[in-house]
A and B are shown apart, each in its own frame.
Chain A
């Protein structure tokens, strides 16, 4: 199938999911009530923001996961691998437990972003030979260190603050500031996608190993660091915006790669759109299944994504 047609199909799916995201939720709102007294119904406004946030977060995680899996040549690679989740968790918990959250709504996301970027830079600084294996190990080490520091913070915290940290970690797209969080994340996603489209050939070559890429004219060590830093930045921004949402960045790239092959120029935009669709649908499911309490989106992504992925895995094996 031609790339343009594939993209169009994914785009149609994304638009359909976005429409569902605006139409369905905890409250039943007839179309006639979408506009009230000349202004947008606040519930519809809330749905538009969270649907857009789910789309941007899902797309960013899928693109990030795609790059991680390609550059590290590891099918278990995911966006949080280089200490991003541990660092973000530590930053957010620090902001909540040490009282910085009183500075305003943006303090927790900013601390989470700071934690994620710091952890990522620590991995890149601590690992001298930046091979896939060593970066992986460095990421695990820094992630473990951040987790243990997080445990120290939790040990000295009050129960109410602790509940806030736990809920933040479950991930949600409900509380996203459209101007200060969503817009910058969308700009970053677009910029990263354009850059990756230009460098898709390099990514393809890196999947065969750094030596192979070097022999074909790619500065493999530099490109590895640049690509991983960009993928980590995408993950860091999403985690600061919506908490830790697992599975999307791991499974969506796998599914797209299985369906459309390994050319990154061909699968980059479909992967981004598939990630957006996946997270928008997970968010809708979370708020429709349990309208009052709402299921955390991270829980829905794992609960739904896992069986779907296993089914696809077995189907493709049976086919081969």
Chain B
């Protein structure tokens, strides 16, 4: 009887110790100020740990119920301090003074770039540690590697020439995605070849350069903007031929989050439909 009591006591203590350890390593109160990170946290099955989001965090639908703690990478300090979160995550654009203020209040703050696939993988590994969900993180890392490898294999096996593409982020002035940007990487996996090779980031480029490079397709991320009423665009061949592709969900392609591979698949599928009768783009990829 006594040994049974000791066993129960031991198990209870073990359980309590385990819980307190988990409490320490896996904070319940998490504020995310980046939509990609919000999606990642939910994808790793840790949505219940989120207590607030940024105004830009809109996916999955359920996070819209959470209170807002600022704009994208712009924390509202008073609100966050009142919420007493254990952890605030965002990309590196957060004002360092705001981050210091949060840290001084005893809140853990993780700010890292979140711009490309490498950043995404690093965030997945970090979230696995921070939120104490290493298995889910490992599984996501594996899925990421498999999906990227799958797209690479499709690219290598395709005999078609990649389409030359222009990514329009804003139409007037013309802001585009440069050589090392996320749309560039996403487009590459979808079988596109960015016409902007010498400029990095999101440069403003000249229309004359676009006319000279003569892209086969324009991927239109300028949500809500209209290229048809702008006469300056009418000289571009891809506009005249109607080869302007508006992604089904541009947030899936512009956020390095868990939906990005579905976004690439959709983009690829839409391109295949658009160029079904052309030889320049594979109609049926494996």
- For residues 161 through 201 of chain A, which have their beta carbon under 8 Å from a beta carbon of chain B? 163-164, 167-168, 170, 172, 174-179
Interface string of A27-68 (1 = CB under 8 A from B): 100000000000000110111010000000000000000000
- Report the separation of the CA atoms of residues A163 and B202 in the bound assembly, to the nearest whole angstrom: 11
Evaluate whether A105 and B231 lie within 8 angstroms (CB atoms) in the complex, with A27-B212, A160-B170 already known. yes
Evaluate whether A176 and B232 lie within 8 angstroms (CB atoms) in the complex, with A104-B226, A158-B72 already known. yes
- Report the separation of the CA atoms of residues A42 and B208 in the bound assembly, to the nearest whole angstrom: 9
Q: Does B205 contact A (CB under 8 A)?
A: yes
Evaluate whether A291 and B206 lie within 8 angstroms (CB atoms) in the complex, with A46-B211, A101-B224, A105-B229 already known. yes
Q: Does B62 contact A (CB under 8 A)?
A: no
Q: Does B104 contact A (CB under 8 A)?
A: no
- For residues 33 through 65 of chain B, which have their beta carbon under 8 Å from a beta carbon of chain A? 56
On chain B, the residues within 8 Å of A104 by CB distance are 226, 229
Q: Which of A99, A174, A178 contacts B173 (CB 8 A)?
A: A174
Do the beta carbons of A168 and B208 come within 8 Å of each other?
no
- Report the separation of the CA atoms of residues A47 and B206 in the bound assembly, to the nearest whole angstrom: 11
Interface string of A81-122 (1 = CB under 8 A from B): 000000000000000000101101110100000000000000
Closest B residue by C-beta to A167: B173
On chain A, the residues within 8 Å of B235 by CB distance are 42-43, 45-46
Q: Does A292 contact B (CB under 8 A)?
A: yes
- Report the separation of the CA atoms of residues A291 and B206 in the bound assembly, to the nearest whole angstrom: 7
Q: Which of A164, A174, A177 contacts B170 (CB 8 A)?
A: A164
Q: Which of A43, A49, A160, A291 contacts B169 (CB 8 A)?
A: A160
Q: Does B199 contact A (CB under 8 A)?
A: yes
On chain A, the residues within 8 Å of B236 by CB distance are 42
On chain B, the residues within 8 Å of A160 by CB distance are 169-170
Do the beta carbons of A177 and B205 come within 8 Å of each other?
no
Do the beta carbons of B231 and A167 come within 8 Å of each other?
no
Do the beta carbons of A158 and B56 come within 8 Å of each other?
yes
- For residues 183 through 207 of chain B, which have their beta carbon under 8 Å from a beta carbon of chain A? 196, 198-199, 202-207
Q: Does A134 contact B (CB under 8 A)?
A: no
Do the beta carbons of B212 and A167 come within 8 Å of each other?
no
On chain A, the residues within 8 Å of B170 by CB distance are 160, 163-164, 167
On chain A, the residues within 8 Å of B224 by CB distance are 99, 101-102
Evaluate whether A293 and B175 lie within 8 angstroms (CB atoms) in the complex, with A42-B236, A46-B235 already known. no
Q: Which of A26, A159, A168 contacts B72 (CB 8 A)?
A: A159
- For residues 210 through 255 of chain B, which have their beta carbon under 8 Å from a beta carbon of chain A? 211-212, 224-226, 229-232, 235-236
Q: Does A287 contact B (CB under 8 A)?
A: yes
Evaluate whether A105 and B208 lie within 8 angstroms (CB atoms) in the complex, with A42-B236, A159-B72 already known. no
Q: Closest CB-CB distance, B58 to chain A, in whole Å?
A: 12
Q: Does A204 contact B (CB under 8 A)?
A: no
Closest A residue by C-beta to B71: A158
B contact face: mostly helix, strand, loop, or mixed: loop
Evaluate whether A43 and B208 lie within 8 angstroms (CB atoms) in the complex, with A178-B231, A292-B198 already known. yes
Closest A residue by C-beta to B240: A42
Q: Does B172 contact A (CB under 8 A)?
A: yes
Evaluate whether A105 and B205 lie within 8 angstroms (CB atoms) in the complex, with A45-B235, A167-B175, A177-B231 already known. no
- Report the separation of the CA atoms of residues A178 and B230 in the bound assembly, to the nearest whole angstrom: 11
Q: Closest CB-CB distance, A91 to chain B, in whole Å?
A: 15
Q: Closest CB-CB distance, B42 to chain A, in whole Å?
A: 22
Q: Closest CB-CB distance, B98 to chain A, in whole Å?
A: 15
Q: Which of A46, A159, A176, A294 contacts B204 (CB 8 A)?
A: A294
Q: Does B209 contact A (CB under 8 A)?
A: yes
Evaluate whether A179 and B231 lie within 8 angstroms (CB atoms) in the complex, with A43-B211, A168-B173 already known. yes
On chain B, the residues within 8 Å of A105 by CB distance are 172, 226, 229-231
Q: Does A275 contact B (CB under 8 A)?
A: no
On chain A, the residues within 8 Å of B196 by CB distance are 292
On chain B, the residues within 8 Å of A167 by CB distance are 170, 173, 175, 204
Give the A-binding residues of B (Cβ under 8 A). 56, 71-72, 169-170, 172-175, 196, 198-199, 202-209, 211-212, 224-226, 229-232, 235-236
Give the B-binding residues of A (Cβ under 8 A). 25-27, 42-43, 45-47, 49, 99, 101-102, 104-106, 108, 158-160, 163-164, 167-168, 170, 172, 174-179, 287, 291-294
Q: What are 14 A-B pairs with beta-carbon distances under 8 A?
A: A46-B207, A105-B172, A105-B229, A105-B230, A158-B56, A163-B175, A167-B170, A167-B175, A175-B172, A175-B207, A176-B232, A177-B231, A292-B196, A294-B205
**Contacts beyond the supplied A287-B206, A292-B198: 6 A-B pairs with Cβ under 8 Å:** A43-B211, A46-B208, A102-B224, A178-B231, A293-B199, A294-B206
Closest 9 CB pairs of A and B: A42-B235, A27-B212, A104-B229, A294-B206, A105-B229, A105-B230, A26-B208, A102-B224, A167-B173
